[in-house]
Each structure stands twice: as C-alpha cells, then as structure tokens.
Amino acid sequence: MTLIMYQDFLKRTALLKGLSECQLDQLSAKLVRRQYKKGEVVFSEGQKAEHLFFVYQGRVRLYKSSREGKSQTLQLFSSSGVFAEVPALEGGFFPAHCEAIENTTLLLLKRQALLSLIQKDSELALNMIAILASRLRAFSNTIADLTLKETDVRLANYLLQLSHVQGNEALIRLDLSKPVLANSLGTSRENLYRVIDKLQHQAVIDMDGCYIKIINYSALKMLAEENNL
C-alpha cells in the first residue's frame, strides 16, 4: 500500500479535516498497517494504550465483558472510523476490549506521533475535541437506550437509522450479524428473535436472511419514538 493511498484515505477521516498535503504526507509515513481476521482481538481491557487506530477496511467493535462471560457492545467502527483517542492521548490503559467483527485492516499511529501533530496544528486539536464531544453524546444516547427503552424500541431505532444510511425506506440489508446486533441492542439473541417475530406478526417488517422489508414504515417510526426523552 503506497503513501498516496494512505493520504487519500486520511483525507476522508473527520479527525484530519483541514490538514495540508504536507502534513498528510508526514502522517502517512508514520502509519503502521495491521490486518485482523474476523473474531481476532485488537486489544484487551487493561492493555497499555500506545496507538491511535484508523479503520482502513472492515469493522471492529469495542465492548466490555463481565466475569460471567457476558459482553456489552459499546461502539462499532467501520471504514474511515477512528478510535482509542482518549487512551492514546492519556497514555493510560484501554478501558474496554476491541475485536474485529469481520476481516479488517487497521492503520496505527503511535501516541508520540499523535501528540507531536496536535502540538503543531490547532486544527487537529479542534477536530479531536469535536469528535470526543460527538462520542460523548453517542455514549449518553446509548446509556439512555439501554436503561430506558425496550428491545423492540431499540430495534426500531436501529432499523430506521440503517434505512436512512442506505437511503431506502422499503428494503434494508442488516450490516451486523444477529449475535452482534443483539449484543449491540443490549439483549440476548433469543429475545431479539422474539421481537423480530412479533414485528413480523404485526406486519411491520418481514425478514428474509439478512434483508428486512419494511412493510409499515409509519408503525416502525411510531415504535421508535416510544419512551423518547
């Protein structure tokens, strides 16, 4: 992979918005490329944080796990996503686990290189603040969803968001496996299947493999708006 390809990729990331060609060239030269197979651990909770991560291709999830073996997905990152900013800045330890949920290529930037760039460029520092603020809002919404909303409401919100991203209100393709989706929604696979069956019985949706046909968009939207703060 050439530095030009790295630079083209970096231009698409929100964190590096506004950086000059020269700065992107310098940054590209410091990136380390690593590949992970589906299910492979990227880092574990408590591990020393020494890098910032860019998702070049694929998808990863950050999650917490209990002593009983249960896990809760915190966030998902796909192509052009950036993660582990806070531990990389602090130089501390990762507060959660990270694994690839499909074959994934990551670009790693060492902590010292990141700090050097921030010290030299106020634009990068402002971008970092904006991303962290957005991340905080997302966590706040996730906590509200998991504590105040039922599984069917959370699923309806997810389907509507996916519909918006894919630009289709009639047919959408699930971008997560059902086990990962259930974990992201804070429920079990069995409960997720029950909710899907209920929505199919109510003629709100119809599932065929990884595709979901939205039969009654208005009903799905009304369900998603239940318990909104």
Distance of CA 134 to the CA centre of its chain: 12
Confidence tier at 173 by pLDDT (50, 70, 90): very high
pLDDT at position 148: 43
Start and end residues for every CATH 2.60.120.10 domain found in the chain: 3-147
Confidence tier at 227 by pLDDT (50, 70, 90): low
The rounded distance, in Å, linking the Cα atoms of 18 and 181 is: 35
Confidence tier at 139 by pLDDT (50, 70, 90): low
Burial of 2 (0-12, 13-18, 19+ CB in 10 A): exposed
pLDDT at position 171: 93
Q: Which CATH class is domain 3-147?
A: mainly beta
Determine contact, residues 142/63, Cβ cutoff 8 Å: no
Determine contact, residues 150/228, Cβ cutoff 8 Å: no
Fold of 149-224: Arc Repressor Mutant, subunit A (1.10.10)
The rounded distance, in Å, linking the Cα atoms of 65 and 68 is: 8
pLDDT, tens digit, for every residue of 51-106? 999 999 999 999 988 777 778 888 899 998 999 988 888 888 999 999 999 999 99
Token pair listed for 79: 């192509």
Percent of the chain scoring above 70 in pLDDT: 90
Indicate if the pLDDT at residue 128 is higher than 60: yes
- Average pLDDT of the segment spanning 133-162: 73
Indicate if the pLDDT at residue 119 is higher than 50: yes
Q: Helix H segments across the chain? A: 3-10, 21-29, 85-90, 111-120, 122-148, 151-166, 178-184, 189-201, 217-224
Beta bridge partners of 35: 105
Start and end residues for every CATH 1.10.10.10 domain found in the chain: 149-224
Q: What is the mean pLDDT of the chain?
A: 85
Tell me the pTM. Answer: 0.68
Percent of the chain scoring above 90 in pLDDT: 39
Which helix (H) or strand (E) segment holds residue 12: the answer is none
Determine contact, residues 74/47, Cβ cutoff 8 Å: no
- Average pLDDT of the segment spanning 19-26: 81
pLDDT at position 44: 95
Query: Half-sphere exposure (CA, 13 Å, Cβ side) for 69?
Result: 0
